[in-house]
Amino acid sequence: MSAMMQPQIILLKEGTDTSQGKAQLISNINACVAVVDAIRTTLGPRGMDKLVHDDKGTTTISNDGATIMRLLEIVHPAAKTLVDIARSQDSEVGDGTTTVVLLAGEFLREAKPFIEDGVHPQLIIRAFRTAAHLAVLKTKELAISIEGKDREDRNQLLQKCAATTLNSKLIGGEKEFFSKMVVDAVSMLDEDVRLSMIGVKKVQGGTMRDSFLVQGVAFKKTFSYAGFEQQPKNFEDAKILLLNLELELKSEKENAEVRLTDPAQYQSIVDAEWNIIYDKLDKCVKSGAKVVLSRLAIGDLATQYFADRDIFCAGRVAEDDLQRVASATGAQVQTTVNNLVPEVLGFCQHFEERQVGSERFNIFTGCTQAKTATIVLRGGAEQFIAEAERSLHDAIMIVRRAIKNQAVVPGGGAIDMEVSRHLRNYARGIAGKAQLFINAYAKALEVIPRQLCDNAGFDATDVLNKLRQKHSLPSGEGAHYGVDIDTGGITDTYEAFVWEPSVVKVNAFNAATEAACLVLSVDETIRNPRSSQPGDDGMAGMQMPGRGRGGGMRGRGRGMRRR
């Protein structure tokens, strides 16, 4: 009787939704698998594209995993971890975003039967982490270094890596053309290979082959005032002045007050304003610069003043374009026109304003500090050019990584099959439940070649059987065999030059395992109701890893509110 009368403690406020235990874990796994199924078909050279239409009417066509994951606007708290790893893979190595989400989903799919059978998640997590460590070590062991090559050979190898990335993109038909362009663009940069130093400009019209690379800076003609047409649009050996100030008449501030005792004094105030602007313009001209660019506006008075003195000017230049001009020409951005010494001016051998499609472009080439490049992309539909830009971003990132980490692995699912075989052999030598879990991890890795076959319309079972047989050869000569997308069979993907930097696979294994372990470690979801008091719903949507019933959230005993 006393037990029945014991009061119940309410720690969470009314309306709080909690769900916990095995059912909650399986629900989270199902949510993640549903997300994976949405982008599964985008993998590989024959992958399909997704058309995402948002509430603002914007249409995006893409097969880039990170882009699709971002546009899906996933609200399920557990499935959001897949969005995070796709973004992580994109920012770290630039490619393999679909791969990493697919692997994470497959790890969870393989773990689900064990969870349903009552296995504790921590046992699975421990085995998965061991398997991931072994997978990374095996990948590094299989990696082939491309160091020690001369410049021409190295560029050829980098083009192979870029072409493999572009294979699965919308512009895969022009992969040779664009892979060379990407390698040339990255080769122009400093050793630190900053991504911001490569500009990509989109111009509608023409064909993809009309795209070109500028060994310097190119940007679209900015807003111009009267007098712009009289300015020269072509210079040889031009000095360049970069400014971060306005060159136009400045009216008085709204709260300024000027008291005049004589109407004639008003003219002196007007004259002072004009004298200030003319003084600024005169100092710009005396600096010897032939091209004046400013991040802020250059007004009609200044435009005409420069036109009369055969000087080109452009105002409201975008910040990133201005910084790239500074890097390419050696100019320093000035916030004042006083003391414009020759050292602050930049230099380029050739400046011109050129018509590209329906747009006018300002192009700087032959720069003294040529550490930047610009790719001008052409194409028909706007969505097509936007997807081409995303594809080139992946290729640029891959070439950057291949330069910094000069080791490649064969693609086409070859590395996944070899690591899978290695893990199966390892599992045979250990006792206990871990053997089952590592085997499940090894089986999950086969999802990459299987999906490549499915997306290309081939018989995945037949191809996987051939791959398993090749990779099981004791001599190890089949380690480089992967899916042949052209014939529906298998081929030595290293010999076929289907390469990817080893860092892509290493990061994919680590990130996918991390996401799977994170989802498996969550056994309770707590969702607070929306509170009318600010700061009162601090735990809304929070997930509590490793908490069971009464794990500090609610219990029976004294204190708190009684019911």
Active-site positions read 64, 97-98, 394
**What is the pairing mode between strands 59-62 and 50-53?**
antiparallel
The burial of 508, by beta-carbon neighbours within 10 Å (0-12 exposed, 13-18 middle, 19 or more buried), is given as buried
Taking the C-alpha atoms of 304, 308, 312 and 315 in order, what is their torsion angle to the nearest 10 degrees?
-20
Q: How far is residue 11's CA from residue 15's CA, in Å, rounded to a whole number?
A: 12
Taking the C-alpha atoms of 172, 354, 347 and 373 in order, what is their torsion angle to the nearest 10 degrees?
-10
**Closest residue by Cα to residue 218 from 235, 237, 198, 238:** 198
499-501 sheet: strands from edge to edge: 144-145, 407-410, 499-501
Give 316's DSSP letter: S
Phi, psi of 173 (to 5 degrees): -65, -20
Place of tokens 């070859």: 414
Place of tokens 């289907």: 498
Phi, psi of 424 (to 5 degrees): -60, -45
Token pair in block for residue 333: 């951005």
Q: How far is residue 67's CA from residue 83's CA, in Å, rounded to a whole number?
A: 10
Token pair in block for residue 29: 């796994």
